[in-house]
Structure 1
Amino acid sequence: MSQSLYEKCVLGGFVLLCFAVAGLGSLATTPAIDGWYATLSKPAWTPPNWVFGPVWSALYLSMAVAAWVVWRGHPWSTTRLPLFVFLGQLTLNLLWSIIFFGLHRPGLALLEILLLWGAIVATLLAFRRLSPLAAALLVPYLLWATFAVALNFAIWRMNM
C-alpha cells in the first residue's frame, strides 16, 4: 500500500471513529428530543433543534482531521499521549449525551461536561505542541462546548 493511500485510510479511520461516537450518542439523544427534552424549560437563546446536527457534524469532522494531522506529522512515540487524550475527550463527549439525554440527568451532565471541557482544553494543548493547525481545528469545538456548558447549566437551573 502506498504511503498516500495509507494516510487516506487512517484519515478515514479517524472520521469513522468520530462519527461512530456521534452515532452512538444519537441513540440516546434522538428519542429524547421530541419527548423528555421537549418538556424542559430552556433559555430563550437555546438554538432550534435543527442546528445541532449540522454543527456537530462539522465539529466531528474537524476533530477527525485534527487527530489525523497530529498522527500524520509525528512518530507514534510523540503522538501516543495526545491521541489518547483525544480518545478520552471523545469518550466524555459520548458519555455526556448518555447522561443528559439518555438518563435525563442535567445536573450530573453538567458535572460531566465540565470534565469534557477540561479534556478538550487538554487535547487542544497537547495537539498544539505538535501542530498549530490541529489545535486551531479544535477551537470551534471548544467554543461550542463552552456554549454547551452554559446551556446545560441554564437548563439544569430552570428545571430544578
Structure 2
Amino acid sequence: MKLIKYSFVFLIINFGALALGNWLMTNGPKESWYLNLNKAPWTPPGWVFGVAWFTIMVCYSIYMAYLYKLLPDAKTIFLFIIQFILNVSWNYVFFNKHLVGMGFIIILLLTFLIGLFLFTYIKPLKNSSLLILPYFIWLLIASSLNGYILYNN
C-alpha cells in the first residue's frame, strides 16, 4: 500500500514539475529564436518530447516510490529536490532566457544526477532500477541536442 501512495505522490510532484517547466518556457519551442537555430539532424519532431516526458515521469515516479519506500531518508529527498530544480530550471534558462550555454551546464548536471541515482541505488533496487533508464537515456540525447545547438549557433 505504501508503494501505491508514494507512487501517487511522486506522480503529482513530477507532473507538476512538467507543468511548471512548460509554463516557464512560455512559447519557446514555437518562437522564431528556437525555430531558426541550427539544430542537430537527430532532433526528434516536437510531439516526441511530450510522449517521452510523459513516459519518463511515470517511470521515474514509480522508481522514486520504490527508492523512497526502501530509503526514506533526507539524502533521497535532497537528491530528488535537486533533480526537480534542475529539470524545471532548464526550460526557463534555455527557452525563456535563450542561455544555451547555461542550459547545457544544467542539463549535464541533471544527467549526472540521474546517473548518480541509477548507479548508486542499482544494488538495493535491483530490477526496479530499470525504471530510471528512460530518463537517463533521454537526458543523454537531450544533452547532445543542447550541446549541438551550443556548438553550432
TM-score (norm 1): 0.86
CA distance in 1, matches of 2:128, 2:96: 31
Identify if the C-alpha distance between structure 1 residues 134 and 81 changes in structure 2 by more than 3 Å, giving closer, same or farther.
farther
User: Deviations along 1:76-109, whole A, 9 cap, x unmatched?
Assistant: 3xx4423321221222111111111121111111
Tell me the SS of whatever aligns to 1:131: helix
CA distance in 2, matches of 1:7, 1:157: 43
Corresponding residue for 1:143? 137
Alignment partner for residue 47 of structure 2, among 46, 50, 63?
50
Tell me the SS of whatever aligns to 1:46: coil
Alignment partner for residue 67 of structure 2, among 45, 66, 70?
70
Q: Which has the higher contact order (CA 8 A, sep 6+)?
A: 2
Corresponding residue for 1:19? 15
Identify if the C-alpha distance between structure 1 residues 44 and 38 changes in structure 2 by more than 3 Å, giving closer, same or farther.
same
Unaligned runs of 5+ in 2: none
- Number of equivalent positions: 152
CA distance in 2, matches of 1:91, 1:133: 27
CA distance in 2, matches of 1:57, 1:37: 22
> Identity over the aligned pairs, expressed in percent?
28
CA distance in 2, matches of 1:75, 1:101: 35
Unaligned runs of 5+ in 1: none
Q: CA deviation at 1:7?
A: 4.1
Q: CA deviation at 1:30?
A: 4.8
Tell me if the contact between 2:26 and 2:96 (Cα under 8 Å) persists in the aligned partners: no
Tell me if the contact between 1:99 and 1:105 (Cα under 8 Å) persists in the aligned partners: yes
Alignment partner for residue 122 of structure 2, among 128, 133, 136?
128
The answer as to 2:30 corresponding to 1:34 is: yes
The answer as to 2:89 corresponding to 1:95 is: yes
After the TM superposition, which parts of structure 1 deviate over 2 Å for at least 4 consecutive aligned residues? 6-10
Q: CA deviation at 1:9?
A: 2.8
Tell me the SS of whatever aligns to 1:86: helix
Backbone CA RMSD of aligned residues = 1.7
Structure with the greater alpha carbon radius of gyration:
1
TM-score (norm 2): 0.90
